[in-house]
Amino acid sequence: GENVEQHPSTLSVQEGDSAVIKCTYSDSASNYFPWYKQELGKGPQLIIDIRSNVGEKKDQRIAVTLNKTAKHFSLHITETQPEDSAVYFCAASRGANNLFFGTGTRLTVIP
């Protein structure tokens, strides 16, 4: 089955700096890669996703890049703000049904 690895497990950045979180996946058939943000006491919330026919996608301060050959994808957050502090999860799917999640990254933005 699919195995998704995520790094780093914790990340602290100064407000205004950029944050990058990286994930790798094992199943070359995976074709859908969402990123979720989980705040304390809440469920994961979809923040951006990318499909395998696209190499990069951007939504304001958030961008995701995908390298299908190397089987890795990354989340980039620019101009970080304190409200970006949360746990971020990457995931991979064949698009049909269930998601395979990474282990999560706890991002702390220091004011």
Partner 1 sequence: EPEVTQTPSHQVTQMGQEVILRCVPISNHLYFYWYRQILGQKVEFLVSFYNNEISEKSEIFDDQFSVERPDGSNFTLKIRSTKLEDSAMYFCASSESGAEGYTFGSGTRLTVV
**What residue ranges bind partner 1 (CB under 8 A)?**
4, 32, 34, 36, 41-46, 49, 89, 91, 93-104
- Smallest separation, CB 16 to partner 1 (Å): 29
- Smallest separation, CB 11 to partner 1 (Å): 17
Give all strands (DSSP E) within the chain, no chain letters.
4-7, 10-14, 19-25, 32-38, 45-51, 56-59, 62-67, 72-77, 86-92, 100-101, 105-110
- Smallest separation, CB 66 to partner 1 (Å): 15
* Nearest to 37, CA basis, from 66, 54, 61, 14: 61
How far is the C-alpha of 82 from the C-alpha of 19, rounded, in Å?
12
Residue 18 or 98 having the CB closest to partner 1: 98
Residue 78 or 87 having the CB closest to partner 1: 87
Residue 67 or 103 having the CB closest to partner 1: 103
